[in-house]
Amino acid sequence: MITDSFGAHGRAAPLVIAIDGPAASGKGTLAKRLALHYGLPHLDTGLLYRAVALTLIDEGSDLDDTGAAARAASALSAERLSDPRLRERAMGEAASRVSSVPEVRAALLSWQRRFAENAEGAVLDGRDIGTVVCPQARVKLFIIAAPEERARRRHRELLGRGEETTLAAILADIRARDARDSSRAAAPLKAAEDAVVLDTTELDAEAAFAEAVSIVERLKAA
């Protein structure tokens, strides 16, 4: 674990902020705001898995075809991440399925690590950033919230996009994704031993951001 705030030549070491947590916990919103606050690039690593799933769907391949998924991950281009379809609800479920394929995770690991090697640092959010992708990150946050609250947040978000759905269906999806992400053999969802857990169940966006900044500043100074 990196504890020194300065590099070998006395310059500030890159600030890598690793943010993990289950779906709809608020980690993506926090990651974007922290990246803006600290002037760092941000990567929503979930988009990589969504892009792999979308590639399989577009080419007519089965989401459970591990060979096709691995090939799609290896050939993934940055341009694919701008496809608006990646934000659709169905893509979250599809991404959860392909993310359980070890070959897919291996293919995308180098992509994520290259992103984190930015000279000033970077903010990455996902499921295994602090445990696998960036285990040496200076700051690790694990964002949680009660499943019911996460379902309410996602429900509001989807309704705002004009997507028809029900709160019960979203809660069921979230519980299923939690179970799959936490039990998969390859890089399961869990907090790194040195991560700070932030529960956003009772926090609005501003309060969660303020608490996150406080944690980052404390860890930076450690």
Q: Pick the residue with more confidence: 152 or 4?
A: 152
Q: Give the range of the structural domain holding residue 35, as residue numbers without chain letter.
A: 15-221
- What percent of the chain shows pLDDT beyond 90? 78
CATH number of domain containing 198: 3.40.50.300
- Asked if the model's pLDDT at residue 6 lies above 90, the reply is no
Residue 190 forms part of a structural domain: yes
Residue 166 forms part of a structural domain: yes
Number of structural domains the chain divides into: 1
**Residues at the annotated binding site for ATP?**
21-29
**Residues at the annotated binding site?**
21-29
Give me the chain's average pLDDT, please. 91
Residue 213 forms part of a structural domain: yes
- Asked if the model's pLDDT at residue 30 lies above 90, the reply is yes
Residue 51 forms part of a structural domain: yes
CB 144 within 8 A of CB 208: no
Rounded-to-integer distance, Cα 84 and Cα 171, Å: 23
Residue 2 forms part of a structural domain: no
Quick: pLDDT tens for 101-116.
999 999 999 999 999 9
Which strand ranges, in their side-by-side order, compose the sheet holding 121-126?
42-44, 121-126, 15-20, 139-144, 196-199
pLDDT at 27 (0 to 100): 95
Lowest pLDDT segment from 4-13, 155-164, 209-218: 4-13
Residue 8 forms part of a structural domain: no
Confidence of residue 149 (pLDDT cuts 50, 70, 90): very high
